[in-house]
Amino acid sequence: MHRFLLLILILSICTPFFISAQATDSFPDISVPSTMSIPTPEQPPFVPFIDLTIRNPESGQEVAFSLQLLLLLTVLSLAPSIIILMTSFLRVSIVLDFIKRALSLQQVPPNQVLLGISLFLTIFIMWPTFQLIYDNSFKPLADGQISVETAYREAEAPLRLFMYRQVQGNPDSIRLFMAMRGLDRPETLADVPTYVLIPAFILNELTIAFKIGIVIFIPFIVIDMVVASALMSMGMIMLPPVMISMPFKLILFILVDGWGLLTSQVMQSFL
């Protein structure tokens, strides 16, 4: 028993020295150095900083630039109303909506398609007017040849001429607004203020568009009446006449080249 305890005591004293000696030994020759490197951290996403400062203008050119920027933002905010109410867009869009209703079509073509067609037809019809505005107003203003006030007058003149030519066939609308403002009866375009010409043009466009819509509806109403009479005579009271008449309307519309005829007539109404 004493020998066993003595052996345990000797081992407990010699073991730490043995472990430290092994720790100081070098790695074997077959070992290779490590190739693992510490990955570099990713850079945070770059977010630009935008700083808008307001200060007093230092020259008259800066004041003029601020006013031009304000005028440009105003025109951009009113651009949809200008395009819809002061061009041919109003008449074209109403006529296309009438033809859709006359054919008893609910979802075809979609309203977005009709508005797109109206927009491009408006650009086609108004292109000479837009060209005059660009040549006489926008380009000289961008080159610094004219002032903002002159550019406004040069841009207003072609639009006024276009609206006045459309209203000439129905001068009662101009007289109505002139009378409501207490102004004298106009003799020329120069006697009509712009704030009178614009509402008169809008009423004239609505009137002409509704007249075209009436002409469009007449042949399709005849088809509806014939189909409804035939169904009533056969005792098919529960069958909707629109379901039967719509294919005949489409056949008639395709046979007479309805889209081409409608587009040409709308174009000629502006000449």
Which tens digit of pLDDT belongs to each residue from 67-113?
Answer: 777 777 777 777 777 778 888 898 999 999 888 888 888 777 888 88
Whether 181 has a pLDDT exceeding 70, the answer reads yes
Whether 14 has a pLDDT exceeding 60, the answer reads no
Provide the whole-model pTM.
0.68
How much is the pLDDT for 25?
47
Q: Cite the DSSP H helix spans in 51-147.
A: 60-85, 89-102, 111-133, 139-142
Whether 2 has a pLDDT exceeding 70, the answer reads no
pLDDT cut 70: percent of the chain above it: 76
Nearest to 83 by CA among 114, 120, 135, 111: 120
DSSP class of residue 137 equals I
Over range 227-238, report the average pLDDT. Answer: 80
Whether 143 has a pLDDT exceeding 60, the answer reads yes
How much is the pLDDT for 23?
44
Whether 24 has a pLDDT exceeding 50, the answer reads no
- Residue 104's SS3 state is coil
How much is the pLDDT for 256?
85
Distance CA 120, CA 89 (A): 9
Distance CA 189, CA 171 (A): 11
Cis ω on the peptide bond leading into residue 171 (within 30° of 0)?
A: no
Nearest to 98 by CA among 202, 212, 269, 266: 212
pLDDT level of residue 32 (50, 70, 90 thresholds)? low
Distance CA 156, CA 137 (A): 9
Is residue 231 a contact partner of residue 241, using CB atoms and an 8 Å limit?
yes
